[in-house]
Amino acid sequence: MAHEDRNPDQPLKPAPRVNLRTPEVMAAVQAQVENHYRSEVVERLRAAGGTLSAEGLTIKLAKQFGFCYGVERAIDLAYAARKYFVDNNIFILGEIIHNPEVNEQIRALGIKNIIGKQKEAEVDDLQPSDVVIVPAFGTDVTTLGKIKEKGCQIVDTTCGDVMSVWKRVRQNANDDMTSIIHGKASHEETKATASRALKDGKGHYLVVLTLADTDYVCDYIRQGGDKAAFLERFKGAHSPGFDPDLHLRRVGVANQTTMMRGETEEVQRRIMAAVRTRDGDTGAAQNYRFFDTICGATQERQDALQQMLDNPLDLLLVVGGYNSSNTSHLAEMGEAKLPTYFIRNACRLESYTRIVHYDLHRKEEIVTENWLRKRPLTVGLTAGASCPNNLIEETILRLFELHEISAERLLRPAVA
């Protein structure tokens, strides 16, 4: 792709998009993806009602778990990019999804990272012939603009639910409303959403994570307060030039799509009540709005886990990446009811007496001894939307192995 005749001071036009979803490419992609992530055991177990029992050990699988459509699409497009652009350098803006095993597979395809701790190149080093994959979380407008200026081919795998939130915060900016985003300020999706809330410098945003954050904002909405203390509390979680005295006058609540629905709804209720106290019913109708932008797949997995938790279980295993927001919320739900272990993969089940798992409060892996008790034992199992079925299968088989029940003996009567 030559550009010798162009003015070097003029930015390149983005390369025209290529349709990667041709039958030939996708057939090859499907075979490769299934080889990496598919699990016949999980598929048969799901078809059999999600329960597998042998010799006093019962595993119950949530009705909804694992890869969602948006994650499957992102992975398919990344694999398709490698199949189609055989001779091009391919880069990705961070992790394709929040699962380390999947990201390792992406790296194994020769796709290099240009954002984050494991980056292998810089955005400034990109060439017009390079291909850049935007992950499922999306990316901020500044980064995307730089890539477009380079003239690179962009493969955008951003989830449709995320783009729906972007539409809402852009609308807020157009209507001179600040977007209050319920989410994690450091999360890639929230950063991407916040950048859209600026709308070319016209809009503003504020990110709240907890109900305590929300109550602090609500108090300020009702009666004002110490502006410097407010800005310090939300340092790194608000737009440049944010002034709570000005930019909390008219607000619209949005959210990171993988938050807990109940908590987001409570954020909405509390902020609405604060605006109504300050402005009355008529004023609140003009100065407050919200949209339901919780990811459908996230909600399905939370609902399925809640249904499973309503029945007797001895413990719960949650499988997935530790930096996965939707997976973390599943672990939070479990912790509230019974012993729950958030694990990256089956290797963390080190022995009958020892498990390595992620502590959501300490934000690190810890070791728990004597975690399994003798049979009869019923174990619940679920996984976040970024966890492939092969990791779930390995966890199931490892649980039975720890009870000296081999895969051959287990599966022959159960799923043969």
DSSP classification of residue 239: -
- CA pseudo-torsion sign 274, 207, 135, 176: positive
Closest Cα partner for 294 from 139, 152, 162, 137? 162
339: buried, middle or exposed (CB in 10 Å: 19+, 13-18, 0-12)? middle
Return d(Cα 197, Cα 235) in angstroms, integer: 17
Of 188, 189, 393, 394, which is the active-site residue?
189
- Compute CA 338 distance to the chain's CA centroid, rounded to the nearest angstrom: 24
Q: Is 189 annotated as catalytic? A: yes
- Compute CA 374 distance to the chain's CA centroid, rounded to the nearest angstrom: 36
Across 288-314, b (16+ Cβ under 10 Å) vs e yields: bbbbebbbebbbbbbebbeebbeeebe
Return d(Cα 193, Cα 183) in angstroms, integer: 10
16: phi then psi, degrees, rounded to nearest 5:
-60, 140
Across 183-192, b (16+ Cβ under 10 Å) vs e yields: bbbebbbbbb
Residue matched to tokens 């499907």: 30
State the catalytic residues: 189
